[in-house]
Amino acid sequence: MAYKFSMLLSLVFLVFAFMLAGDITIVSSIRSELDNLALTVSYRLARDGYLSADALTLIEDFGARLVAIDDDQPAFGQTVRFILGKDYDPLLISKDTVTITVKGAAIVGYIV
C-alpha cells in the first residue's frame, strides 16, 4: 500500500516539475524573441532616425508591444531607449499574466 501511495505522490511531483520546466522554457524562448526583435528595432531606429510604421507593424506581428520610448523624434546622434514587452499566461509560475520585457537602445545615425 505504501508503495502505491509513494508512486502516486511522486507522479504528482513529477507533473509539477514538468510544468515548471515548461514555463521556464517558454519564458526563455519569449525573451530570446524579444531580444532579437529589440535588435531589429534598434537597427531601424538608427537607420531611419524615427520609429517608422514598418517597425511598429513588425512589433505587432511578433505579438509584442512597445511599452515605453524615450523620444519619438530624436535628433542625429541622440540615444533612444525603448522597452518591448509581451504577455504570457504561465502554467505554474503565477496565477496572473506575466509581462516579459526587454530593454533596447539605439544611437540615431550610427549603424555598425
Asked if residue 63 belongs to a domain, the reply is yes
User: pLDDT tens digits, residue range 47-106?
Assistant: 888 888 898 999 999 999 998 787 767 888 888 899 999 999 998 888 899 999 999 999
pLDDT digits (tens, 9 = 90+) for 24-34: 999 999 999 99
Give the neighbor-by-neighbor strand order of the sheet with 98-107.
65-69, 79-88, 98-107
Task: Tell me whether residue 35 is in a domain.
Answer: yes
Domain that holds residue 45: 2-107
| Polymer length of the chain | 112
Q: State the cell numbers at 50.
A: 524615427
CA torsion 68-73-104-112 (nearest 10°) is 170
112 domain residue, yes or no: no
How far is it, in rounded angstroms, from Cα 63 to Cα 101? 13
Dump strand ranges (E) for 1-112.
65-69, 79-88, 98-107
Residue 74 falls within a domain, yes or no? yes
